[in-house]
A = this chain, B = another copy of it.
């Protein structure tokens, strides 16, 4: 098998740039992914396609389809090509959705095994993953906010403890350094540590806790940022630190704790031992992983009791810990409610753009545009400055920036004009994370403790997907959770192609306005003042009821 890389340059293999763009996005998630041979992109299980025959058939369909056709993909398997119209999406997807009562991790594993379903993660199966940069700004902003809230705007000389250096978690050491802290990341798989070092996301590695602590201690004294990858198991290292009375300033974890069979390695196991048990006795592996997570979370709670700022970074670790006996696991708070909700109320969230010709200069030009034209938005301009300095490119050059309602449209239309007039070397794709205002119902992450109690109402992401289908988006996907996330969430993704055409301008305008507009209205409907204010200010046409 030849290694798959996203095509670069301006030569088309498809009948139009829209199809070509989606094909490159698919290739790009594999190029950026953790294990291309298995089509695995990140988070242990999140795949880009059902299997290789499905991948080949998707490529063939994208290469031959017309602009007024729609390719339907069910959990990574292409099903059919349908005649639609020029304003319809090219690709529609539904990944890993199971009827409520059946949406369990056991069923997921069974049906995945039987070839009926895959988990698409948030951005894997819908070809939107852009490498570790994707979560980098999110993680950075969380650290920076904690700095503002708890450490007088300054994380210099502060110690962050975390674990997991996978596709998502790999962004943590760099985010910590960007926030100027000393960060220790425990990771059980040495290859992952090496991968982060090679990618420029991690500075140092060691397999000795003492050596790691020495590096951290020295950096703290000098108030200099540092990142250390410690080869070890979080379920052993966290309690050991506690035993030694070492209390970090900030504690979190981004191992794949959502998945007890394929994701989290129990204490005392080598990778090989875990793999053997996965084959021979997965129930035993699961029980051991659950017990290890419980031990780790107990240590996290103890750190919290001793004054550390402890938070769940979206890997369902609290749910798993509670299931394995840690009753107060949910006294650890979730990052979304604590930090992101006020932003989501204004539909500010992780927007992304990808230079489809592979030309990094295009990203630089867009960076400059933002620094000039969004000068009043300090979140995004601060970020662009840091990103230029710290963020290595992976796969097709891409940038992430938190922008809100109206801002996204403004940027995308400007970029489309720059594609048209040749300022940029070619088309640019726009996507966003599913962790976006209108796009996700996830009662333990995104929508925990919503003001009106609507945490688990999944109407919203479904409406979001349908509205994007109706607003000329190029690709729309509905995802639900697999593995340990099975039954825990539903979300929607969207991709748009700015190819410089007038039609693309219309696509960008309608989809982006409606995508974020509905996001604001979702929070307005839940009663958040910021969202009500944003809807008024931005003239989003909210329907007001006249109470009888």
CA distance A545 to B111 in the complex (A): 19
Residue A383 at the chain B interface, CB threshold 8 Å: no
Question: A79 to chain B: which residues have CB within 8 Å?
Answer: 463, 518, 521-522, 525, 542-543
Interface locus among A87-95, A262-270, A352-360: A87-95
Query: Does any Cβ of B come within 8 Å of A546's Cβ?
Result: yes
- Shortest Cβ distance from A75 into B: residue: B459
Bound complex: CA of A522 vs CA of B116, how far in Å?
12
The reply to whether A469 and B472 form a contact with Cβ atoms under 8 Å apart is: no
Interfacial chain B residues near A103, Cβ < 8 Å: 100-101, 103, 456
Interface-centre pick from A72, A75, A476 (highest chain B CB count, 10 A):
A72
How far is the CB of A197 from the nearest CB of chain B, in Å?
35
**Which of A51-59, A172-180, A211-219, A303-311 lies on the face that meets chain B?**
A51-59
Inter-chain contact A470/B116, CB cutoff 8 Å: no
B517:A82 contact, CB within 8 angstroms: yes
CA of A546 to CA of B58 in the docked complex: distance in angstroms?
11
- A132 contacts chain B at the CB level, 8 A cutoff: no
Contact B545 A72, beta carbon cutoff 8 Å = no
Chain A, range 94-123, C-beta contacts under 8 Å to B? 94-103, 107, 111, 114, 116-117
Near B by CB (< 8 A), chain A positions 506-548 give 506, 510, 513-514, 517-518, 521-522, 525, 540-548
* A533 → chain B closest CB, angstroms: 16
B57, B94, B116: the one within 8 Å of A545 (CB): B57
Inter-chain CA distance A87–B70, complex, in Å, is: 15
Give the nearest-CB partner of A471 in chain B.
B84
CB of A465 within 8 A of chain B? Answer: yes
Other-chain contact of A457, B54, B98, B469 (Cβ < 8 Å): B98
B residues near A480, Cβ cutoff 8 Å: 100, 458
Question: For the complex, is A452 an interface residue (Cβ under 8 Å from B)?
Answer: yes
Contact B546–A514 (Cβ < 8 Å): no
- The answer on a CB contact under 8 Å between A459 and B545 is no
Find A458's partner among B97, B467, B471 (CB 8 Å cutoff): B97
Closest Cβ of chain B to A505, distance in Å, is 13
Known contacts A99-B442, A460-B74, A114 near B82 by CB under 8 Å: no
Q: Which residue of B lies closest to A115 (CB)?
A: B452
Quick check: is A478 within 8 A (CB to CB) of the other chain? Answer: yes
Kindly identify which residue among B80, B478, B517 contacts A542, using a CB–CB cutoff of 8 Å: B80
Q: Which residues of B contact A472 (CB under 8 A)?
A: 85
Q: Which residue of B84, B462, B540, B548 contacts A53 across the interface (Cβ within 8 Å)? A: B548
Residues 24-56 of chain A, each 1 if its beta carbon lies under 8 Å from chain B, else 0: 000000000000000000000000000011101
> Which of the 9-residue segments A152-160, A187-195, A485-493 touches chain B?
A485-493
**A466: chain B residues within 8 A (beta carbon):** 89, 92, 94, 465-466, 469, 476, 478
**B-side contacts of A95, CB under 8 Å:** 459
Complex-state Cα separation, A467 to B81, whole angstroms? 11
Whether the Cβ atoms of B53 and A545 lie closer than 8 Å is: yes
Is A78 part of the contact surface with B, judged by Cβ < 8 Å? yes
Contact of A543 among B52, B61, B84, B96 (CB under 8 A): B61
- With the chains together, A70 CA to B469 CA distance in Å? 12
Q: Which residue of B lies closest to A472 (CB)?
A: B85
Nearest chain B residue, comparing its CB with the CB of A69: B541
Question: Chain B's nearest CB lies how many Å from the CB of A446?
Answer: 10
Which of B488, B521, B545 touches A80 (beta carbons < 8 Å)? Answer: B521
A535 to chain B, nearest CB (A): 8
Give, as a whole number of angstroms, the nearest-CB distance from A36 to chain B.
16
Contact between B469 and A80, CB atoms less than 8 A apart: no
Chain B nearest CB from A59 CB (Å) reads 11
What are the residues of chain B within 8 A of A452 when measuring CB–CB? 114, 116
Instruction: Assess the B453–A99 pair: CB atoms within 8 A.
Output: no
How far is it, in angstroms, between the C-alpha of A432 and the C-alpha of B361 when the chains are bound? 52
For the A-B complex with A79-B521, A462-B478 known, give 17 more contacts whose Cβ atoms are closer than 8 Å: A53-B545, A57-B544, A70-B467, A74-B460, A74-B525, A78-B543, A79-B463, A80-B541, A81-B541, A81-B543, A82-B514, A82-B541, A87-B88, A92-B466, A101-B103, A107-B456, A116-B457
